[in-house]
Amino acid sequence: MVTNKKQKNMAIQKTKGIIAILTGGGDVPGLNPAIRAVTIRANREGYKVIGLRRGWAGITELIRDTKADNSNNYQILTDDIVNKAGRTGGTFLHTSRTRPSHMSKSSVPEHLKDTYNQEMNDLTPEVIKNLEWLNVDYLIPIGGDDTLSYGVHLFKKGVNIVAIPKTMDNDVPGTDYCIGFSTCVTRTIQMTNSLRTSAGSHERLLVLEVFGRYAGFTAMLPTMAGAANRCVIPEYKFDIESLTKLLVEDRNANPSKYSVVIVSEGAMFEGGEMIFADSEKDAYGHAKLGGIGDLVSARLKDLSAKFNHGKTINIINQKLGYMVRGGDPDFLDSIVPMAYGNLALDLILKGVHGRIVVLKNGRYDNVPIDVVTSSKKVVKVSEYYNTERLRPYYHTFEMKPFLLMASDN
């Protein structure tokens, strides 16, 4: 990274170098283990580690004055600090959906309002100056495609970036696996199995809405594992009458008289579009999704009599949401973050940057970071999704990747 000697923060003395790390976007289990892995390895190798707080917000709001209170913007990370949090869920550095290159006038930090007073502002110059003031040699952002897209932007501006992929949706391009995905799938299966007892007791259809804006991996894998009879995903607009007919048939063939469908939040009716909770958009231009599970439930109930000898079937409708995001990581989201953190340090020790650490075909690797913004990762419908049966295909498993349709091949 290009540095300005006059703006050095002498409160942070350099050793072998300084590494900054941040977590952006939605929290997932596995973030703290990744922070722990980076910190312990970096400290052992002679680096100091700075935790940037609240995603891109902390480094944007930092005040370049040694007398200023920046405790809400960054902290020095030690082995003791990260060991306490390393086995827990969430992120102790906190997170946000801040996008410094697109900050509204009202979001600009108070001390910068005179300089950045447009309706939309690019605070990237301040971010770079703040990183220089902290003496940061390498920056490790942990996030999904939104958070990492800004990492790509910084890399193109000369910042030394080594990225770690994170998102429950598992839709960061270039990697088969993103931190948080395994725990999400595990919890979805567990909660579906818990709710099926009520569905069976009342002989109902069970509708579960899960995360997945553009990619249906979080619906597909639990369904393939047997948690649901059917699933509907963003990659294929579904016919509600076909879904109803299939679910009623599944229910009536089940001795316990229930059936289950998992609905991705980004799923769309045939002829329709995504369902949004409201019109407000985040800094990356995304409106909050919500409501497709409710609409599917209402339509299933209305149509059920048509396929059930004139008798209406009631619905249990549950949005899993943050219940699959919170809590401790499962074993994969404990092991993979450890490996990703060490992979990032392997690259830094070689002086390599502009890369994202990945898991490909069962092996750890790294690829150019701009893969995040140059491609999309979604379910390959023709290969993995049976559009007539509204469920995954169950064939040709030989020599397939470990995570099947969730791989990025």
**Active site residues per annotation:** 169
Angle between the 332-349 and 31-44 helix axes, to the nearest 10 degrees? 40
Residue with tokens 């579960």: 208
Report residue 240 as tokens.
Answer: 């509600």
Q: Outline where DSSP puts E strands in 78-132.
A: 103-104, 120-121
Number of H helices, E strands in the chain: 12, 17
* Residue positions counted in the chain: 409
DSSP for 282-350 reads -TTSPEEE--HHHHHHHHHHHHHGGGTTT----EEEEE-GGGTTSS---SHHHHHHHHHHHHHHHHHHT
Q: CA-to-CA distance for 353 and 347, rounded, in angstroms?
A: 7
CA distances from 257 to 190, 305, 333, 396 (A): 20, 15, 35, 31
Closest of 46, 81, 75 to residue 58, by C-alpha: 75
176: Cα separation from own chain's centroid: 13
Q: How far apart are the first and last CA of the chain?
A: 33
Report residue 54 as tokens.
Answer: 């609240």
Report residue 110 as tokens.
Answer: 């108070």
Q: CA-to-CA distance for 243 and 239, rounded, in angstroms?
A: 6
Q: Taking the CA of residue 365 as centre, how many other CA atoms within 13 Å lie in the half-sphere pointing to its CB?
A: 11
